[in-house]
Structure 1
Amino acid sequence: MHQPIAVFDAGIGSYAIVAEIHKRLPQQDIVYFADRASFPYGSKGREELLAVMQRTLRFLEGYHPSAIVIASNAPSIMVLDDLRQNTLVPLFGVYPPIEEALATSNSGKVGIMGVQSLIESSLLKQFITHHAPQPGNVSLINASSMVELVENGAFLFDPEATQKAVSSFMDDVVSQYPDIDTLTLSSTHLPWLRSFFEAAQPGCRLLDPAESIVSNLGDGTQGTGQIQGLVTESEVYNVETFRRMLQQFGIDIPLEVVSVP
C-alpha cells in the first residue's frame, strides 16, 4: 500500500467514512481498522481512552499512513489534542456538527446523540460553548444503547426488534425534549440506524458529519485504491459476526485478524 489513510473506530461504525473516502478519492489506499476488542469507547474514562488511542496509533503508524482518521466522536473530543503532541502523522477527528444543526433547525433546539463518555464529557460542553451562541439550546442525549444495536449486528439480523428498540428510544427523546427538531448522529455507528430513526420520527432532521470529514483530507495520495481491513475481537464481539455484517452489506475486502500490542 502506498501511504494509505488509516481509519479506525471500535467496530463497524467507521466503515461509512471509509466508503466516503473511497468514493471521493478512488485511487487512495485505505487501512480500515475495526478495533472490536476495545468496544465500546463510550464506556471508557479519559485516561483509559487515551491509553487505548496511543496504543492504536502506534500500531497504525506501522502501516506508514499519510493520515489517520479517528472515526469516533468521543476520543476526538476528549483526547485528540493530547494525541497530536505524540505523533507526526496528521490526525483527523469527528465532531458534532452543532453549527449546521442550529442553522437547519426551525425551533432553534437541537440534540447531540452520542455515547455515554462523550455526553458526560466536560470537553464536549466546552465545545458546545464555542460553537453555539446559546448553549442551552443544545441537549445531550446518551445513545449508547443504540450503538450497541449496531455493533452486535441486531440492526441487520433482527430489524424488527431493532425498530422496536429505536422507536422506544426516540419516544423517550421526544418526551424529554419536545422542542428538538434536529439531531446529530455523533457516533459513527448511528448513521447505520438512520432508516430506523426516520421511521420512528419522520419529522426529525438527522445530521451525519461524514462528508465534511472527508473533505478535510484534501487530495490524498495516489495508490491503487485498495482497502485493507483489520479487525480485533473479544469474546462478546467476535470476528465471525463482523464478517457476517460485512457480507450483509455486500462489502468484500481483505480482512486480517490482528492483535494490538
Structure 2
Amino acid sequence: MTPLHQPVGIFDAGIGSYAIVERVRAHFPQQDILYLADRASFPYGAKTPAELLDAVGAATRYLLGQGCAAVILASNAPSIVVWEALRAEVDAPIIGVFPPVGDALAASSSKQVAVLGVKSMVTSQAMHDYVARERQDAGEVALINASPLVDLVENFAFLRDPDGTQQAVGRFMAELLQAEPHIDVMTLSSTHLPWLRPFFERAAPRVAFLDPADSVLDQLRPYNTSGAGITRCVATETAALTLTDFNAALAALGSPLRATLTTSP
C-alpha cells in the first residue's frame, strides 16, 4: 500500500463527513487524505460532553498516530461542545466545523434564522455562548434539534427510500415553520444534514440553507501539502452499522472509495 504523504485526517461518526472529504479533494487535488468513519461511536448527538471528548479524542489520536499533519473534526456538535478541550489535549492542528450564524443573519431578510443540529449541540451551554458571540444583537437565532433527520443519512434511507425521506423532511419543516414562520435562513449544522439539502429545498423553497463546511477549506490551506492525491478510508463498525453497509453507501454515492475495517480508535 502506497504510504500517504503528510495526510489530512478527516473524521466523524459516519457517512456525514464524506461530503467534506469530497470538498477537500476538489480544492486540494494533490493532498493525501485519511478518512475515518468512526461508526462505532455513532451517534455523537446522544453523547454527554465527557463521552464526546473521549470519542473524538480517541479518533484524533488514532489519525495522528497514522501520520496525519492536521485533523478535521468534521462534526458540528463536538466542534462546538469539546473543540477547545480537545485542542488542550492534543498538540496538533485541529480544524472544527462551526455553524455559520453570522453568515445566516447577514443573508436573512427577516433577521430570524435557525441552526439545525443534533440535540447535544443545540441544548449545550457552549452552543448558546457561541450564538451569543456570533449574533452580536443582529437578529434572532433559533436552535433546532434535528437529530431524527440525521438517522435518515446514517441508515442510508435518503438513498434507499427517497420518497420516505422527503415525507419525513417535509413533516419536520412544516412543524418548524408553523412554529417559526419568519425564519428564512437555516444552517445545516450536522455534517449529515447537507446530504439532505435537496429534500430541505423541496420542502421549504422560500428558505435558504447554508453548509458550515465552506469555512473548512480556508482553515485547511496553511496545512495543505503536495502528495499523490490519495484518499484512503478506514471505518469502525457495530453489529447494526456494518462495514458492508457503509461501503454500499459509498458506492451508491458514486464514490470510488471502499473502507477497510479498523478496530481503533
TM-score (norm 1): 0.98
**Matching residue's letter, 1:157:** R
**Matching residue's letter, 2:230:** Q
How far the C-alpha of 1:254 sits from its partner, in A, is 4.1
How far the C-alpha of 1:56 sits from its partner, in A, is 1.2
| 1:86-123 Cα deviation digits (max 9, x unpaired) | 22210000000000000000100000000000011000
Aligned with 1:105 (options 93, 104, 108)? 108
Aligned with 1:234 (options 232, 238, 245)? 238
Within-5 A mapping of 1:1-261 = 1-134=4-137, 137-219=140-222, 220-261=224-265
How far the C-alpha of 1:133 sits from its partner, in A, is 2.1
Q: Among all aligned residue pairs of Structure 1 and Structure 2, give the percentage whose two residues are the same amino acid.
A: 46
**Matching residue's letter, 1:13:** G
How many aligned positions are there? 261
Asked if the contact 1:28–1:222 (Cα under 8 Å) also holds between the matched residues in 2, the reply is yes
Secondary structure of 1:260's partner?
coil
| 1:187-209 Cα deviation digits (max 9, x unpaired) | 00000000000110011000002
User: Any gaps of 5 or more consecutive residues in structure 2?
Assistant: none
User: Any gaps of 5 or more consecutive residues in structure 1?
Assistant: none
* RMSD, aligned α-carbons: 1.1
More divergent stretch after superposition (49-58 vs 93-102):
49-58
**Matching residue's letter, 2:261:** V
CA distance in 1, matches of 2:210, 2:192: 13
Secondary structure of 1:88's partner?
coil
| 1:22-75 Cα deviation digits (max 9, x unpaired) | 111000000011111111000000011111112112211111111000000111
**Matching residue's letter, 2:55:** V
Secondary structure of 1:110's partner?
strand
Asked if the contact 1:30–1:227 (Cα under 8 Å) also holds between the matched residues in 2, the reply is yes
**Matching residue's letter, 1:217:** L
**Matching residue's letter, 1:214:** L
